[in-house]
Structure 1
């Protein structure tokens, strides 16, 4: 049985942002949660992008600790090997596999996925965690704005490429790690590549995270017939190397409030091990509203335009 804080109290925590997204919200909510069975993912397989450090490494460790055979998908294999060794040190010597896959590079995704699907019997869980928050506008090898490439186009293509392996699982599931920052943005109406106006990395980050949330129901419908569910979540405010590098001022101001990577990873691990409705947005083991500000709400037509553009840019059929 899943227990929660009373809805009004939980909603108040969420609306305060500082309390709900920080460690206070996690600690208060955590008291009412039932622990996951220690073998909840025994016999299952999982892949996690951006698993070298921070939330991604914590997700991989959480999945491994529940019995899953985990593959770390990373750009830097030496850092991936170090992360795998660190995970093994806290999970009874179970060492994740490490595979190179740059999720901002569509060609590298195809290279990796082709071999992985051929040699892998099944994939139960795919976690899209890799993220970037650039100081200046940059582009992927295919010429796409780097946040769009990393947070949206890469996950779309990787999901499509790995779908055959996920279909072979009893109930494959895809988990997108978004951000609470997406609440400040709406999906762009055109200029998906952020080519006009003054570029701000934090805005590019937040609006591509908004695009992840807008696309989740579309992806849920797309893969439902294959038995694959699609979920999106945000981890709250987490103290990670990425935050220290990209948002040093924010970290300095909020450090006493920030969650540990394991706390930020909790809902992603829980989604991997728990049967819940597909196509929804989650935080701290509870489905959350996708919008708190009226101005950020996109129409179905706007979400469809995002889908059509991104599917074409990723090289997959939007049908």
Structure 2
């Protein structure tokens, strides 16, 4: 492949990313997957012998992630709030992926006490190779977790931080290095980090803004988490799915879904980079934001850029609220 062809492909990819709409839709992935330099799909059996845990696994991106990981041979734990629904989803996946090794575990990721219970009681999680933080919510009104934290920040940041920290011994034992993936959102591009108001107690509450703020916090803390967990051979990544057609989008953003429905990716397309990050060997560099199998900038607007002091303040707040030490 010529250098010119690669440059043209990279330029087109970047242009779609910076203009947002083309790159985030199904068109973006359709074009990129045909460009020179598109990374190869993981080979069959790429995750044979590996154990993965996926939160929010009963619908949308989580369900698609579980199914694709199972197709690649992984043993997958479905970490869900609703166990009967989780068992139904497990049965559905087994019809499409006969012989898949799947198990359902109960955990409300927003409830820090329940996260502690889940890790303490979970059987067979002594060895873990992959942890996907996919559970998400976008409440219309300000809602608090069991510990009194604003729900989106508890569910998208505090719960995942605590769960990963408690599972570090299991992840540390991964043969070729464990991976942690935060499924974030392109919506975070419109928000700056709010270390001054992490619980969203100031101003008029907006569910979409709260969601985007919590996702911005995930992305901003990637370098900190990569350094913290990297000492145990654990690589941490964030990936955003673009605009995907999921039940969460239908329920929380009905107008957006009605207008852009034909251009939205299906759940499998939205989960593609999460699965690729889980299976590609060797592991990609940690601490980065990924979309369509390529690391992406964390800011598209100058007004959202974060300074080191603000990032440090956010990390110290999250660390303390999640009860992490060190």
TM-score of the superposition, structure 2-length normalised? 0.94
Partner of 1:28: 31
Distance 2:10 2:47 in 1: 29
Partner of 2:313: 305
5 Å-filtered alignment, 1:245-284, equals: 245-274=251-280, 275-284=283-292
Distance 2:151 2:126 in 1: 32
**In structure 1, which of residues 215, 226, 239 is the aligned counterpart of residue 221 of structure 2?**
215
Partner of 1:83: 89
Partner of 2:173: 168
- Unpaired runs of 5+ residues, structure 1, are none
Note the alpha carbon deviations across 1:204-234, whole angstroms, 9 max, x for none.
Answer: 0001000000011100000111000000010
Partner of 1:73: 79
* Matched position secondary structure for 1:6: helix
Deviation at 1:96, TM superposition (A): 1.2
Aligned residue-pair number: 316
Match status 1:37 vs 2:43 = yes
Note the alpha carbon deviations across 1:39-59, whole angstroms, 9 max, x for none.
Answer: 110000000000010000001
Note the alpha carbon deviations across 1:272-304, whole angstroms, 9 max, x for none.
Answer: 012100111000000000111111010111111
TM-score of the superposition, structure 1-length normalised? 0.96
Partner of 2:135: 130
Runs of 4+ in 1 over 4 A off after TM superposition: none
**In structure 1, which of residues 138, 151, 161 is the aligned counterpart of residue 156 of structure 2?**
151
Deviation at 1:115, TM superposition (A): 2.2
* Matched position secondary structure for 2:31: helix
Report if aligned partners of 1:59, 1:268 keep a CA contact under 8 Å in 2: yes
Distance 2:309 2:94 in 1: 46
**In structure 1, which of residues 236, 240, 251 is the aligned counterpart of residue 242 of structure 2?**
236
Report if aligned partners of 2:41, 2:276 keep a CA contact under 8 Å in 1: no
* Matched position secondary structure for 2:243: coil
Report if aligned partners of 2:243, 2:265 keep a CA contact under 8 Å in 1: yes
